[in-house]
Structure 1
């Protein structure tokens, strides 16, 4: 028979904040998933040069480093809900500018690069703001962090399953310019959803805990992450993985399928990554109490290297899709594990900055990989470039096996209990 305390706990649980937060994330990430397909396709359709697509993709990635660093401080200074709403509004406006200019003055590669860079400035603020609200939503729902992070990351993968698929279909039906109107609409719906969110610590922070300035707050976040051995290690590993894998999604696969004139097939391969990630993230939530986080990390980086090397042979579409599902499946738990590390090792008033710093490190090496991949494709071809990016991932896996700090992903039972919200 339930005790009075149990009954009270059940009756005071609030699931609305968790639902609204996930709906807003789904809408915003779906819009970005459409852009992943539409923007490179727009460039390649106009010029046919992988280097131009790399320039635009790099322009969209470079601002993410600085923006992610600074917007974490913006979140902690001005509030999580307000930052998320303003971020989505500016993202919607920047994306809508592309089809407007296409219909009036026309588009060029430098102009597309500038617009891609502008749009990329606003995304990290929304991402940091929404992720910073997860622990409070977890407490309101009475769930565990592992369960909520599993759902949240599965939601992200669902968005990148829907986005590229919708993007590929819309490109074939109405063209890449008009496809971007759907992205803009997704951002608008996301900001409306966040506006209804009522959650602890979502409003304007207390004056005593706000960062003194944008620069001082950012430096404080950087110092905090660097001094934490586990967060520092996860950030550095993520940097290397992003530098190697982001060009595959952003340049290599679009260049390959553009050559085949097959936008729908590009959508299928990108969707396969998200299908695997969706299943992997959900499975992590169900089995987290019986799994070791370190083991899952090691399996993820090892399989990533092997499966990406298999992709480099450019096998038939069915094999590419299966390898994409496998990559997503083993990497599905990595996002929830990274979130858990940030949430359990950062104080409440610094969470935006910690999330921002960790997110920015994921983008730090991405532009280098993208800008190297584009000219290399033009000079040596897609397959050679694929191998040049895939093989080093096996080295990353070997290094991770030798990192004892990853054992801190599995704290002692008494410490683990203290981490529950």
Structure 2
């Protein structure tokens, strides 16, 4: 019989780190594959079509299903259990990703078929990412690890995977071509599925039992669950302000990652190797920032940390590319931006996890993520069309200015004052852990 977790479940006095290690390992390999694809897929489209617009269209077709499917998966994750959702969707994603290099090698990969396959990849990644995020707090409790530390490690894992994945992606594309990178991406998702299915101990990531079910009443239906999550989110002004701000910055981040950097690398003659180098430098610095955030975030004022992090992580990247600086200067700026970015997800996620009850975590997390990521599909599409229309430099300048204004105007909102008062809301905490900070889940920067 399937184990069912509840808010009142009592765990053994001696915790086990195996669930947390397993979840973080699965996150690491799947995110590494995703970051390899970040380099390989746009470069593959650019070198085969020569079109920035089509490159943006591919990004749109991958991220739109990601956001939409993830938004409606939350109630299913709560009901079916994040473990089952994670390993099955990772396996489906691996299959779709492996089809791209295979069909190309057979001469059967048309551009419309590529769009269908990347849409399937995005549709699988959304639930998979959500399920792993939801399992982190439970794994932390089972290991008797303070949530501050566990979710900080989640953020470090995300940043480290970005560093390794982008570096590996750049190297694979430069040495063996983009299709090799796409094949490795598929292998990473398959490995992530195996880790969740086999390595995690029995009882981890099981469905959350509703209070009504415990009382003998019928379990709520899908749309009732979805409505509960939506109603809760609508009653949290702070979360809504953060989600809107991150939605805009994510749109701009998608623009620079999926289109602007590849176009810059091609026009400047730096090549795909520079894309991987820039990403790995930024990722390595972000790992350092995440480690520091894990150690000291609970002692800092969240509002100040969040604003400073966005100031470093945002506009400087766009502006340095616009001014045709040497590669060494570009790498230095990306390193500083990465360090600032390392502090963002631990703070953003801490606010989410502290304010959302355990039984609603899957559906609220799904809605929050999907709204925050809603602009990502449009980022690459709009950037590709804009670069084609007016050129690279004007688009970089506009995006950098928009990033700066968005984060600073959001910081003036009165809801931000609640960020430092969130600690201590014991009734809203999903787990009885003193320190709470989240990295890499919930609202994603």
Aligned residue among 379, 389, 392 for 2:402: 392
- 1:258 is aligned to 2:260: no
1:269-284 residue pairs with structure 2 within 5 A?
Answer: 269-284=278-293
1:340-351 counterparts in 2 under 5 A?
340-351=350-361
- TM-score normalized with structure 2 length: 0.88
Does the aligned pair in 2 maintain the 1:52–1:109 contact within 8 Å? no
Question: Residues 73 and 217 of structure 1 are in contact (CA less than 8 Å); yes or no, is this contact kept in structure 2?
Answer: yes
Equivalent residue number for residue 205 of structure 2: 202
Between the aligned partners of 1:75 and 1:248, the Cα distance in structure 2 is: 32
| Equivalent-residue separation in structure 2 for 1:60 and 1:284 (angstroms) | 31
Count residues with an aligned counterpart. 413
Q: Give the secondary structure class of the aligned counterpart of 2:132.
A: helix
**For the residues of structure 1 that align with 2:219 and 2:62, how far apart are their CA atoms?**
28
Partner residue in 1 for 2:166: 164
Greater per-residue helix proportion: 1
Correspondence list, 1:9-408, <5 A: 12-195=14-197, 196-198=199-201, 202-206=205-209, 208=212, 212-259=220-267, 260=269, 262-308=271-317, 309-408=319-418
Paired residue secondary structure (1:133)? helix
Per-residue CA shift, 1:254-305, capped at 9, x if unaligned? 1111332611111011112211211111100111232111111111222334
Question: Is contact 1:69–1:218 with CA below 8 Å preserved after alignment?
Answer: no
- Per-residue deviation at 1:226? 1.9
- Alpha-carbon displacement from aligned partner over 1:318-346 (angstroms, at most 9, x marks no partner): 11111111111112121112221221111
Structure 1 unaligned residues grouped into runs of 5+: 1-8
Q: What CA deviation, in whole Å up to 9, does each residue of 1:44-97 have, x standing for no partner? A: 110111111011011111112211101222211211110111111011001001
What's the secondary structure of 2:373's corresponding residue? helix
**5+ long unaligned stretches in structure 2:** 1-10, 434-445
**Using a 3 Å threshold, how does the CA distance of structure 1 residues 36 and 414 change in structure 2: closer, same or farther?**
closer
CA contact under 8 A between 2:29 and 2:191: conserved in structure 1?
yes
Say whether the 8 Å CA contact 2:137–2:151 is kept in structure 1.
Answer: no
| Alignment partners' CA distance in 2, 1:70 and 1:278 | 31
CA distance in 2, matches of 1:145, 1:125: 22
Give the stretch that moved more between structures: 24-33 or 159-168: 159-168
TM-score of the superposition, structure 1-length normalised? 0.92
- Rounded to whole Å, the distance in 2 between the matches of 1:200 and 1:343 is 21
- For 1:83 and 1:24, locate their aligned partners in 2 and report how far apart those are by CA, in whole Å: 13
